[in-house]
Structure 1
Amino acid sequence: MNFSQRDKKHNWHPYTQHKTVPDFPAIVKGKDALLWDENGKEYIDAIASWWVNPFGHSNKVMADAIYEQLTTLEHVLFGGFTHNKAVELSEKLMEILPSNQQKIFYSDNGSTAVEVAIKVALQYNYNKGIKKTKVIAFEDAFHGDTFGAMAASGITFFTEAFKGSLLEVVRIPVPTAGNEEQTIKTLENLVKTNEFAAFIFEPLVLGAAGMVMYSAEVLDKLISICNQNNVFTIADEVMTGFGKTGKTFASDYLENKPDMMCLSKALTGGTIPMAITTFSQEIFEGFYHDDTDKALFHGHTFTANPTGCAAALASISLLQTDEIQQNIQTVHQSHLAFQSKIKNHPKVKTTRVLGVIFALEIKTETQESYYGTMRNKLYNFFIENGVILRPVGNIVYILPPYIIAENQLQKVYQTIENALEIV
Structure 2
Amino acid sequence: MTDTERLQTLDQQHVWHPYTPTDDYLKTKPLVIDHGEGVYLVDSEGNRYLDGGSSLGVNIHGHQRPELNEALAAQAAKVAHTTLYGMTHPGAAELAERLVRLAPEGIDKVLFLETGSSAVETAMKMAYSYWVFKGAPQRNKFVSMTGAFHGDTMGALSVGQMTILKNFYQPLLRETSAFAQPYCYRCTLCQDNCTLACADTLEEVLEREGDQVAAVLIEPRVQNVSGMIVARDGHLGRVAEIAKKHGVLLIADELGVGFGRTGKMFACEADGVTPDILCVGKGLTGGYMPLAATMATAEVFDAFRGDGKMLLSGHTYSGNPLSVAVALASLELFEKDDVVRRAQEMSVILAEELAKFRPVPHVGDIRQCGMLAAVELVEDQETREPFPWDVGVAGRITDRCKELGLIIHSAPNDTIVIVPPLAMTDEELRTMMGILLQATRDVVGSLAS
So what's the TM-score if we normalise by structure 2?
A: 0.90
| Deviation at residue 190 of structure 1 after TM alignment | 1.9
SS of equivalent residue, structure 2 residue 354: helix
Q: Secondary structure at the match of 1:44?
A: strand
Residue 167 of structure 2 is matched in structure 1 by: 160
The equivalent position to 2:213 in structure 1, one of 176, 181, 196, is 196
The aligned runs of 1:20-419 (5 Å cut-off) are 20-21=24-25, 22-130=28-136, 131-177=138-184, 178=190, 180-192=195-207, 193=209, 194-290=211-307, 292=308, 294-365=309-380, 366-368=385-387, 373-392=392-411, 393-419=413-439
Tell me, in whole angstroms, the C-alpha distance in 1 between the residues paired with 2:256 and 2:289: 16
Partner Cα separation in structure 2 for residue 53 and residue 297 of structure 1? 32
* Deviation by residue 1:224-267 (Cα, 9 ceiling, x = unmatched): 11112111001100010100001100011122321111111101
Q: Is residue 3–residue 38 contact of structure 1 (8 Å, CA) maintained in 2?
A: no
Q: Distance in 1 between matches of 2:389 and 2:54?
A: 20
Q: Which one-letter code corresponds to 1:284 in the other structure?
A: F
Q: 1:11 aligns with which of 12, 15, 31?
A: 15
Judging changes above 3 Å, is the alpha-carbon distance between structure 1 residues 268 and 190 closer, same or farther for their aligned structure 2 residues?
same
Runs of 5+ unmatched residues, structure 1 = none
Deviations 1:295-344 (A, max 9, x none): 11111101111111111111111112244344313321211111233223
Between the aligned partners of 1:415 and 1:91, the Cα distance in structure 2 is: 42
> For 1:159-195, what per-residue CA distance to the aligned partner results, in whole angstroms no more than 9, with x for missing partners?
3232122122111111344365432432112223312
In 1, the alpha carbon distance for the partners of 2:361 and 2:344 equals 29
Q: Distance in 2 between matches of 1:369 and 1:346?
A: 16
TM-superposed deviation, 1:80: 1.7
1:224 and 1:256 in contact (8 A); partners too: no
Relative to structure 1, the CA distance from residue 370 to residue 273 in structure 2 (aligned partners, 3 Å threshold; closer, same or farther) is farther
Measured on the aligned residues, the alpha-carbon RMSD in Å equals 1.7
Letter of the 2:274 counterpart: K
How many percent of aligned residue pairs carry the same amino acid?
A: 30
Cα distance change on mapping 1:371 and 1:87 into 2, 3 Å: farther
Distance (Å, rounded) in 2 between the aligned partners of 1:4 and 1:29: 16
What's the secondary structure of 1:154's corresponding residue?
coil
Q: How many aligned positions are there?
A: 421
**Alpha-carbon contact 2:377-2:386 (below 8 Å) kept:** no
Provide the rounded CA distance (Å) in 1 between the counterparts of 2:358 and 2:107. 39
Query: Could you say what secondary structure the match of 2:409 adopts?
Result: coil
Query: Deviation of residue 77 (structure 1)?
Result: 1.1
Identify unmatched segments of 5+ residues in structure 2: 185-189, 445-449
Paired residue secondary structure (2:416): strand
SS in 1 for 2:23: coil
Q: Secondary structure at the match of 2:263?
A: coil
Whole-angstrom CA distance in 1 between matches of 2:391 and 2:300 = 43
Q: CA–CA distance in 1 between the matches of 2:336 and 2:389?
A: 37
Taking structure 1 as the reference length, the TM-score comes to: 0.95
1:70-108 residue CA offsets vs partner (Å, 9 max, x unmatched): 101211111121111111001111211111101101111
CA separation in 1, counterparts of 2:16 and 2:227? 25
